Amino acid sequence: MSEHTSERPAQHGHAAATDEPRPPRAPCEPQENRRQVLYWRLLARLFDHEEQAALESASLAVVEDIGLPTGLLDPQTSVDSIVQRHPELAAEFNKLMVPEPEEDGSRDRAAEVRRAALASKVLLNVFASGSGTVTAEQLTRWQSDAGWLERALGCRPGELRGGRAGAGNAHAAGGGAAQLAGGGAGRGAGRGAGAGGVSPTGTGAPGGGTMPDLSRLIPVIGPELGAIEGDLVKRMHLREVLADQGLARQLTPSMSLIEQLLRDKDNLSGVALANAKALIRRFVDEVAEVLRTQVEKASAGALDRSVPPKRVFRNLDLDRTIWKNLTNWSPEEERLYVDRLYYRHTARKTTPQRLIVVVDQSGSMVDSMVNCTILASIFAGLPKVDVHLIAYDTQALDLTPWVHDPFETLLRTQLGGGTDGTAAMALAQPKVAEPRNSAVVWISDFYESRSEPLFESMTALHRSGAKFIPVGSVNSSGRGSVNPWFRERFKSLGTPVISGHIRKLVHELKTFLT
């Protein structure tokens, strides 16, 4: 009987399996299980508004066990509220998702669980935006939470959504993403995508793989945040909010909100119109502060060495004077005799330049319209720069008289409608009095009703000697579509379309002016 039973497994093909040693099973990792529970809860809440009782109770146990506040699990509690009650967490939220390799290649799984809890809070608050009517308080709370997500990615609040840079300097207009691309943002400074590191969500790099490329993630996530914000604004009863001083004060200006205000301004009056104007001016001032920093050196120009240096003490080049007179050194007297003084050149070439900015004000170009109106006003404030501004859809409007005040300029725009660039060209061409001394910046997606005649006019302008700069988009997200028909022809003409971050246009204009 025993022999018969011992042979039965072999007859069923199991002998080989029992004879070969099985690989040892990996021990259960409690911290890994905790982290998975938090992320499964996050996914469940993002895709299903109904709570999963088992995941909720398990996540609560994890959060309490690791000593974090249970408010992290409440979608109605903002990150600001969490940080106000627990100030020590502010530093943990900052650059939370920036890769941070461990020094010895090991993984701190307890720290990964903690990061997972904090990251889940930020992601859930931002991406679970709900449905139905949105109040001013809800919009402001979402904007604040989105700012914390941007901080977690190593950027500044408002930087990724496009248009509003909260830090008020040049770096705020997109430097964070560039810094991250080089692995040098804050906590991750000097740490590239090395092996054994931690991913943005603290999951680690399995098998010593490379870190996620945040330089790719950030440009993608930015427009998505802007789209969510735009949807929230559209779901507001904006006119009623603006008519209430208390609610209006809760609004935080953003590109999406400014777009809605500009579209609806003709339907506002009284208190609502005054509050709308205040929000637009506030937003304009914030963006202008950032852009002004980027162009503040644009008027410097090249040194003009044809002009003799002014012989005053403040221009004295002491180092060069000593070097050139060293042959006059007297060792006996230990004295240097100077027979010639040298001065620094300070005069700069300041040839007046004419800058003609043509902006498509159709519905698809709102972000560019706002940014370029502000940018034109900044360049108009520089010495020796003559700036003209034209906006167009199916008709063209010369906004040059108001170019120094972007707020007043924006109030005169009419967003939406079709596009007919030939109307704008009719206003722009007579302004090019001295082609060699003129630049025409044309901002549009170039989906035109009359493409052939417009491109012929642009070609003639370029061949006259004027600098023609076609721009596909000038926003903070750096994303925008351009008519491929125009794109290919501009490339053949030798004037490729600039499409991306507004910094690219600033660089082009600085090059022309200097």
Query: pLDDT of 325-358, one tens digit each?
Result: 888 888 888 888 888 888 886 655 545 588 898 9
207: exposed, middle or buried (C-beta count within 10 Å: 0-12, 13-18, 19+)?
Answer: exposed
The sign of the dihedral angle between the CA atoms of 101, 106, 111, 113 is positive
Nearest CA to 97 out of 222, 197, 8 is that of: 197
Q: Where is 372: in which H helix or E strand?
A: helix 366-380
| Residues 6 or more apart in contact with residue 295 via CB below 8 angstroms | 375, 378, 379, 382, 506, 509, 510
- 387 and 380 in contact (C-beta within 8 Å)? yes
Amino acid at 481: S
Mean pLDDT comparison of 61-70, 195-204, 297-306, 373-382, highest-scoring range: 61-70
CA distance 507 to 101: 35
The better pLDDT of the pair 487, 5 is held by 487
Task: Confirm whether pTM is higher than 0.95.
Answer: no
| Residues 6 or more apart in contact with residue 299 via CB below 8 angstroms | 350, 382, 383, 384, 385, 513
> Locate tokens 């609806």: which residue?
264
What band does 294 get if pLDDT is binned at 50, 70 and 90? low
CA distance 136 to 275: 13
Q: Can you give the pLDDT at residue 431?
A: 93
Evaluate if residue 19 carries a pLDDT over 70: no
Residues of 150-173 as b/e, b for ≥16 C-beta within 10 angstroms? bbbbbbbbbbbbbbbbbbbebbbb
User: What value does the mean pLDDT take over residues 203-227?
Assistant: 57
pLDDT more than 90, % of the chain: 17
Token code pair at residue 213: 């490329």
What band does 237 get if pLDDT is binned at 50, 70 and 90? confident
Q: Can you give the pLDDT at residue 490?
A: 93
The better pLDDT of the pair 251, 291 is held by 251
| pLDDT tens figures, 386-406 | 889 999 888 889 999 998 888
Q: Where is 237: in which H helix or E strand?
A: none
| pLDDT tens figures, 368-381 | 778 788 888 888 87
CA distance 39 to 52: 13
What band does 510 get if pLDDT is binned at 50, 70 and 90? confident
Evaluate if residue 232 carries a pLDDT over 90: no
CA distance 458 to 466: 10
Cα 471–chain centre separation: 18
User: What value does the mean pLDDT take over residues 88-93?
Assistant: 91
Q: Can you give the pLDDT at residue 172?
A: 34
Q: Can you give the pLDDT at residue 52?
A: 85
CA distance 109 to 91: 19
